[in-house]
Structure 1
Amino acid sequence: MPQYILRISLDHTSFRIPSLLSVSQVFNFAIRFISKDKYRGLLVIELEKEEDVHHILARDTLVLSACELYASGDTYEELHEQMKGNLKVLEPYLHSSFKFTLEGANHRVLDKRVTETVESFAYTELKGKIQMKDPEEEFVIFEDYDWEVAHTVEARIKRDGKFRHVYFGRRVGFGKARLLPTVHDVKARAYYGNTSMDSHMGFLMAGQALPAPGKIIYDPFVGTGSMLYASAHWGAYVMGSDIDGRQIRGKAKGKEVKPGILRAAAQYGTEDLFLDCLTYDVTKSPIRRGGWVDAIITDPPYGVRAGAKRLGRKEGGRPLRDEPYMFPDGTYSHLMPGYLPPSRPYELANLTKDLVQLARWLLVPGGRLVFFLPTVTEDYQEVDVPVVEGMRELKVGEGSVQDFGKWGRRLITMEKTAQDDGPPPTFEDHEEFDIRNQPDHLPGHHGFRDRYATGFSSRKKSENASPAGTPPVLEPVVSLGSGDKV
């Protein structure tokens, strides 16, 4: 099968292989990775037909361009020797207008060497017109350099030509999806909040849910809707819910009464794909039937900017009323404008376990659950990912992680393998996550908000210093560097 070389971004390198695989799964084509090192600026893959490359260029936000690969080598001598034995690949383009381009990955090639390098391909004997603007064909020479910071002219001159590998091929196209994160930039969005997901990360997450026309995708912690915009862009119907309707609605602007999420959806031309965004506690969901959602995608609140909550009162607080409270004028409290029901913290370990159980019930067979799991770097273990029968984790290599030093966000993608819906989740607190029971291993994300606030101090030290069941003492304020505080 033909091979292609992808010029690919060095941002979010642990997400690149899952992103490419998700495109291949949406369009049902096989992809084989040829490059031994899959995290360089150039990636060689094998595909059955060129049509598949165009699917990648149209959908993958990390791919800058793609070329059909004709020859490669550690040196130009090796490259030319291989190319001279493969000249038949150029026959369809012998009389086409053309140009040659020399590109360096992780390096800008010196201008004085470009002409000399291009002229070394004179043996190809292309007979078409050389046309530097809008040629029919563009042939590209790629030099692949190791990453190195070379800010000075002297440093650039010193490393020029010291590439790791060199490639030659024909340009197939440029990445069309590459600009999507800029188009969806949060700061230019009609409605956003301090919990809104970075637009590029939103597209990388949405890709794992395999959005496509006709599919239904649900976010149970929708917030300001970041996950839904990216999913709807690819034609999926989307819906969301949140315990706090204020995030969905936002503040009205002038005479505009449309909820904030729909204002942003209208900005992107996807408002018609938003089925609805509802206000309810996911643990008290009005949904009564499982097995009809194609994907669940969410970034659960874990306390960096907002903590997860569920209806009820904190342990030791006043019990909930059996009947709604009535004011002397006969008005019920819960019908008053701005009413907020009492809530209690939702432990992240319980939330993630419940989320997987919800997916087990709500998804169609083969449906996907995609969510971020915050992990403390020194404590994370693979067993921290909730295990529910009928759901399996889809993992590539070490997984996709957005690293922040002491902690990171690990992208978890799971697939429903069960063919039945099973029982709906009960959303009861799970005993294995109760610190007072002293389990053998607490997930690294257990008590994440408290641990974040204390700078991720050693868990053993903090637990030994406090009586069982007593929360650690928190520092008063932690700045996140962007004006947000917890």
Structure 2
Amino acid sequence: MPQYILRISHEHLTFRIPSLLSISQVFKFPIKIISQNKYRGLLIVELEKEEHVHSILDRHTLVLSASELLAEGSSYDDLHNDLRQHLEILDPYKQASFKFTLEGSGHRVVEARITDIVESFDYTALEGPIRMKNPEVEFVVFEDYELEVANTTEARFARDGKFTRVYFGRRIGMGKARLLAASHEVKHRAYYGNTSMEAHMAFLMAGQTLPAPGKIIYDPFVGTGSMLYASAHWGAYVFGSDIDGRQIKGKMKEKEGKPGIFRAAEQYGLSDLLLDCLTYDVTKSPMRRGGWIDAIITDPPYGVRAGAKRQGRKEGAKKALKTEPVLMPDGRYSHEMPGYQPPSRPYELANLTLDLVQLARYLLVPGGRLVFFLPTVTEDYQEIDVPVVEGMRELKVDQGSVQDFGKWGRRLITMEKTAQDDGVPPKFEDHEEFDINNQPEHLPGHHGFRERYATGFRSRSKSGNPSPSTTTPASPPTLEPVVTVDSTNKV
């Protein structure tokens, strides 16, 4: 099958391959990763058709450009020998207008070499006119360098030409999805808050839900709606819920007349895809039927800027939670008063994440996906921290996608519903296995995250809490040479 060169950003390294695989599953085409090191700036992939390359350019926010691979080598001599052995691949472009471009991955090539390099391809005998603007064909030479920082002109000149590999290809297109992070930038949004997800990361998350026209995607901790906009951009119907309706509405001005999330959806032309946003505690959800949602996407509140809450009073509270409506002196019930907020208590993150997976097991269609961020303390994280629920399985490429902040990180968890039935609705009870007073053998790396963040992630062994056996994940992880997706699109 044809091979292609993906020029890819060096940001969010562990998100690039999962994004590629998800795109291949949305459009139902197989993809094979040829590059042995999947963290370089140039990624070689094998695809059946060029139209699949355009799907990647349209969707992958980390891909800068894509080109058909025509020749390669460890030096220019090797490259030219490779190309000379199959010059017939250039026959379709013999009469077309063309230009040559030289690009360095991990390095800015010194301009003085460009002319000599372009002229070294004169044996190709291309007969069409050279056109620097809007040519019919653009041929690209890629020099792949080790990623180093050259802070001075002298350092740049010293490493120029010392690439590890060189490629020759025909440009297919530039990455269109790269523009989404700028067009959806939070600070330019009609409505946002201090918990709004950064736009680029929202799109990376949304891609894992396999969004497409006609699908229904739900965010149970919707906040200000960042994940809804990203999911709806690809044509999916979206809706959300939150225990605090003030985040959904914002400060509504009379001239605007719409809750904040709806104003932002209108700004992006997504009003018809935003079904609604509801205010309720997810543990007391009004949904009475399972098996109808295609994907759940969320960034659960974990206490850095806002903590998770559920209805009820804190343990040890003096006043018991009333079970009957309270009648006020003016004849109205308390819950009918403007600005009424029901009493709430903290929602332990370890309980929340397990409940979230159980909720997905109930609400998702078979094959539906749950995508969420799991914040974990780096020294305490183990793979068993990801909640295990029968009928749900984690989809993980290599060691998973991680946004690393040093002592802690956000792990993007993608799970698929393997069960064919809906099962029973979750009860959302506090889980005894996370009761620190019972001295469990292992507490998840995200247990008590809010308190540990506030104390600078002090070691549990020093704080007197149970100290689990720990493993510190490597960054970046060691990778296998090939990742493939077969014709049934299974990793």
TM-score, normalized by the shorter chain, greater than 0.5: yes
Cα distance per residue 1:390-442 (max 9 Å; x no partner): 00000000100000000000000000000000001000001100111111111
> After alignment, is 148-157 or 225-234 more displaced?
148-157
- 1:464 CA drift (Å): 5.1
SS of alignment partner, residue 150 of structure 2: coil
Residue correspondence of structure 1 range 112-127 to structure 2 within 5 A: 112-127=112-127
Alpha-carbon distance between aligned partners in 1 of 2:64 and 2:197, rounded to the nearest angstrom: 23
Structure 2 residue aligned with 1:38: 38
Structure 2 residue aligned with 1:345: 346
Contact conserved, 2:436 with 2:465, CA < 8 A, in 1?
no
**Normalising to structure 1: TM-score of the pair?**
0.95
Q: Which runs of 5+ in 1 are unaligned?
A: 466-486
Structure 2 residue aligned with 1:359: 360
> CA 1:464–1:400 in 2, change beyond 3 Å: closer, same or farther?
closer
- 1:151 CA drift (Å): 2.1
Structure 1 residue aligned with 2:21: 21
Structure 1 residue aligned with 2:433: 432
- 1:322 CA drift (Å): 2.2
Structure 1 residue aligned with 2:66: 66
Runs of 4+ residues deviating >2 angstroms: none
Alpha-carbon distance between aligned partners in 1 of 2:361 and 2:252, rounded to the nearest angstrom: 37
Structure 1 residue aligned with 2:310: 310
Alpha-carbon distance between aligned partners in 1 of 2:67 and 2:154, rounded to the nearest angstrom: 31
Alpha-carbon distance between aligned partners in 1 of 2:113 and 2:299, rounded to the nearest angstrom: 49
Structure 2 residue aligned with 1:157: 157
Q: Which has the higher contact order (CA 8 A, sep 6+)?
A: 2
Amino acid of the structure 2 residue aligned with 1:446 = H
Cα distance per residue 1:322-376 (max 9 Å; x no partner): 2111112221111000000000000000000000000000000000000000010
Residue correspondence of structure 1 range 138-157 to structure 2 within 5 A: 138-157=138-157
Alpha-carbon distance between aligned partners in 2 of 1:419 and 1:46, rounded to the nearest angstrom: 33
Contact conserved, 2:196 with 2:223, CA < 8 A, in 1?
yes
Same amino acid, percent of matched pairs: 77
Alpha-carbon distance between aligned partners in 1 of 2:180 and 2:465, rounded to the nearest angstrom: 49
Over the aligned positions, Cα root-mean-square deviation in angstroms equals 0.8
Amino acid of the structure 2 residue aligned with 1:383 = I
Alpha-carbon distance between aligned partners in 2 of 1:397 and 1:250, rounded to the nearest angstrom: 40
- 1:253 CA drift (Å): 2.8
SS of alignment partner, residue 378 of structure 1: helix
Amino acid of the structure 2 residue aligned with 1:379 = D
Alpha-carbon distance between aligned partners in 1 of 2:36 and 2:465, rounded to the nearest angstrom: 46
Residue correspondence of structure 1 range 37-436 to structure 2 within 5 A: 37-317=37-317, 318-436=319-437
SS of alignment partner, residue 148 of structure 2: coil
- 1:274 CA drift (Å): 0.5
Alpha-carbon distance between aligned partners in 2 of 1:329 and 1:455, rounded to the nearest angstrom: 49
Matched positions, count: 465
SS of alignment partner, residue 223 of structure 1: coil
Structure 2 residue aligned with 1:474: none
- 1:463 CA drift (Å): 2.6
Contact conserved, 2:65 with 2:175, CA < 8 A, in 1?
yes
> CA 1:264–1:34 in 2, change beyond 3 Å: closer, same or farther?
same
Question: Residue 446 in 1 paired to residue 447 in 2?
Answer: yes
**Normalising to structure 2: TM-score of the pair?**
0.94
Amino acid of the structure 2 residue aligned with 1:375 = T
Amino acid of the structure 2 residue aligned with 1:59 = R
Alpha-carbon distance between aligned partners in 2 of 1:327 and 1:222, rounded to the nearest angstrom: 32
> CA 1:59–1:464 in 2, change beyond 3 Å: closer, same or farther?
closer
